[in-house]
Amino acid sequence: MSAHLSVARGEEGQAGKVVPKLLGESSFGSTRVVFLRGAAGAGKTVALRKLVRRQADAYLDHQATFLYLYVDAQARYLARLDDAVALVLQDLNAHFTYRALATLTRHRLVVPVVDGFDELLGAGGGAEAIQALTLFLTRLDGRGAMVVSSRSTYFDFGRIRTQADHYRSSDANFEIVPVELLPWTEDEMCSYLGSDGLYQDLGAATPQEALDRLKQAYFAGPDEASLLSTPFFLTAAVDVALQHAIEDGDLIGARAYRPIVRIIESFVRREVEKFRNTADDPILSAQDHRGFLRMLAEEMWWQERRELDRESVETIAELFAEKVGMSDRELRAFAARASSYAFLTAGEGQGPGPALLAFSHEYYYAFFVAGFLAESLCSGHDVAGLLGRTEVSPTVAEEFGEQILENPDLSLPGILRALATRPVPVPERETNRGNAGAIYAAILAKSPAIPGLHLVDASFVGVDLRNTVQRDVALTRCDFIDVDFRAADWSIAESSNCTFVRPRVAPATTRLAGLQLAVGIELNGIAPDDGRAEYDPGQVRTICRRIGILLPTNESTDTGVEEVGHSERSEQTIGLLHKLLRVAERTYYLSDDVLRRRGISNRPPWNDLERLLRKHDLLEEKAVHKSGTERLRRLAFPPNVIAEGEGTAADPGIEGFWQAIKHL
């Protein structure tokens, strides 16, 4: 089940309606997890905080029977969910512990809201975060509900399901419902500009006129126009525009700026004016202010966290002041006021410990840390150590690609050379390879064909390489997992020790010419644009030939062996199986109600499918010690393992199942 919503600015925003409705629709004996996803700045935090506050007010008025517990995992490097919850409970001086939270959640007295789960995934590749979330779900005994938000556009829900298999003896049962937070529409943007007369403050006669003038002032090209539909950028653009009192052409300079660059430059100019000495002269130039913010971002990167205590910020300020040659008096004044920077914010609800400071938005952190990463890669100094730190988020990767385009001092050949020749130490291997893949993908998405491109020791997971064009690419020790290659046009000069898992392709427009892969070994499944992922070797080979992938001689269908198609009964049953597997990825136990609602058990092929799953021990039934007559079933293997069994050697039960289903 998937829902889509667009959050309006006012109190009546749809998040306040959709999320509670979904929480109240949980299936029999199943904990419902509403997974709210959206881009950075899309308004997830605002929507969730309004939801939590509204529920608290209703509870105080005796109109509600439970409370939301808001857990802010953003800007914190916390490897485990229990760490984040424990910190929140400490800040609130709560009279119950993390372990008691499971009991309160089971009885629907508390619904945890974890905001920024993707921040937890940045720790050690996310394994501990997934484990902690899954362990918490197992403690709920198939009851209660929770809300999780994430900025990541790619998230493998199957990892939660797979982790739950480690707790088979428990009563774990959960259903994940993804909800996508859509960008603001033009009507919603105008609604915001009409609130409190903002459009009049901008010197416009109507909200639409104000919006048109903001677009003209802040956007250099059509590719960036979508940013203004992000609540963060629209509100920030209005703040900057109010400072400049937009007049015709006032914000349109000789050089085109991206919105984030304009906003940062405006805030920096404000800081230049704020930090003055006794003679009323600025003590730092705009370049110096940017250098200090870069130093803060570097420190956060090396410490693998997104927050610093005030003492650390002041220490960095002192070091920077000495570096630029401030006088002692100016140094002390700057260090004392550094923690009040426009770009920094203090964490809310701090406990008795030292206050923590973070960049007030991910875009600010991404802007400064991306520049630091690009310059460090250009220098080639300690590249392995640099990429072995915390995970490069999608926002940081996108900003990295933008800065490569904008800054002529950044050498793209130098960066590619540093990535290709870096050592990959074993302890940080996966983080290192994942970060290399994110940086490579950011470069590929923004750059035209790069001569002599060599991608080395990188993991590309869920990245978007649509419409990219590259020639004579060399691939060494690279993994491409769920990568979108639609309308991509690549020629591959050589490939060694590489794997492709479910690449998404459009057979009519994707070209991966010269890539040679062994089906089922180096190529595990393929996802055509118009249907499900294919694992059947015959189907995979057909698609491979259409997009230019070369097959080893012994896999060629030119051997004279005719490929036999499946019967209509078999095709229908396989189609229903894939639908069942998609549902099973997000619903740990499958009840009669779930199978009916998802249109599975009421379809004619269900009898064949259920019979074969049971015959080959792939479907287990759970004894239910609760009231009601519902049956709960679960797959004996993770859904992806069963799906992959169509084309590769697998467990004997899975292999026998696929042979039987193809001969229906």
DSSP string, 624-641: --SSS---EEEESS-HHH
Q: Exposure pattern of 350-388 as b/e (b: 16+ CB <10 Å)?
A: eeeeeebbbbbbbbbbbbbbbbbbbbbbbeeeebeebbb
pLDDT bucket at 15, cuts 50 / 70 / 90? low
What whole-number percentage of the chain has pLDDT above 70?
84
Over residues 288-295, mean pLDDT: 92
Average pLDDT over residues 304-310: 84
Residue 31 main-chain phi, psi, to 5 deg: -75, 125
| Residue 403 and residue 370 in contact, taking contact as beta carbons nearer than 8 Å | yes
Tell me how far the alpha carbon of residue 444 is from its chain's centroid: 19
Cα–Cα distance between 399 and 340 in angstroms, integer?
25
In Å, what is the CA distance from 355 to each residue of 77, 142, 303, 346?
A: 15, 38, 17, 7
Q: Does residue 348 register a pLDDT over 70?
A: no
Using alpha carbons, select from 9, 36, 11 the residue that is nearest to residue 22: 36
Rounded Cα distance between 412 and 439, Å, is: 12
Q: Within 13 Å and on the Cβ side, how many CA atoms surround 121?
A: 21
pLDDT digits (tens, 9 = 90+) for 384-404: 889 988 888 888 998 999 999
pLDDT of 10 reads 39
Output the pLDDT for position 565.
63
d(CA 201, CA 207): 11
Per residue in 22-69, pLDDT (tens digit) is: 887 777 678 899 988 887 777 888 889 999 999 999 999 999 899 999
Residue 247: pLDDT band by 50, 70, 90 thresholds? Answer: very low
Type of residue numbered 613: L
Note the pLDDT tens digit of each residue in 313-345: 889 988 998 888 888 888 888 888 787 787 888
Give the pLDDT band (50/70/90) at residue 435: very high
Lowest mean pLDDT among 25-29, 43-47, 439-443, 509-513: 25-29
Average pLDDT over residues 613-629: 75
Higher per-residue confidence, 415 vs 355: 415
**Is the pLDDT reported for residue 458 higher than 70?**
yes
pLDDT at 88 over 70: yes
Q: With beta carbons less than 8 A apart as the criterion, state whether 104 and 59 touch.
A: no
Separation of alpha carbons 7 and 46, rounded Å: 9
**pLDDT category, 4, cuts 50, 70, 90?**
very low
Please provide the average confidence, as pLDDT, over all residues in the chain. Answer: 82
Please compute the mean of the pLDDT values over residues 1-28 and round it to a whole number.
Answer: 61
In this predicted structure, the answer to whether residue 355 has a pLDDT above a threshold of 50 is: yes
pLDDT band at 249 (very low <50, low <70, confident <90, very high): very low
Q: What pLDDT does residue 510 have?
A: 95
Token digits of residue 13? 């925003």
Check: pTM over 0.85? Answer yes or no: no
Instruction: Of 251, 252, 232, give the one whose Cα is nearest residue 243.
Output: 251
Q: How far is CA 175 from CA 49, 68, 178, 226, 376, in A?
A: 23, 19, 10, 32, 43
**pLDDT tens-place string over residues 570-591:** 888 988 998 898 888 888 888 8
Using CA atoms, how far residue 534 sits from 414, 464, 504, in Å, is 39, 20, 10
Three-state secondary-structure class, residue 645: coil
Residue-level pLDDT at 256 = 52
Q: Is the pLDDT of residue 223 over 80?
A: no
How would residue 124 be classed by pLDDT, with cut points 50, 70 and 90? very low
Which residues, in sequence order, are CB contacts of 301 under 8 Å at separation 6+? 369, 372, 373, 389, 390
The confidence score (pLDDT) of residue 71 equals 86
What does the pLDDT average to over 462-468? 92
Residue 101 vs residue 566, higher pLDDT: 101
What is the per-residue pLDDT for 593?
A: 84
Question: With 90 as the cut, is the pLDDT of residue 630 above it?
Answer: no
Residue 5: phi and psi, rounded to 5, are -145, 155
Residue 233's identity, in one-letter code, is F
Q: Is the pLDDT of residue 558 over 60?
A: no
Quick one: average pLDDT of 112-130? 65
Stretch 107-112: mean pLDDT, rounded? Answer: 92
643 — pLDDT class (breaks 50, 70, 90): confident
**Residue 650 pLDDT greater than 80, yes or no:** no
If pLDDT is split at 50, 70 and 90, which confidence band does 631 have?
confident
Q: State the pLDDT at residue 353.
A: 53
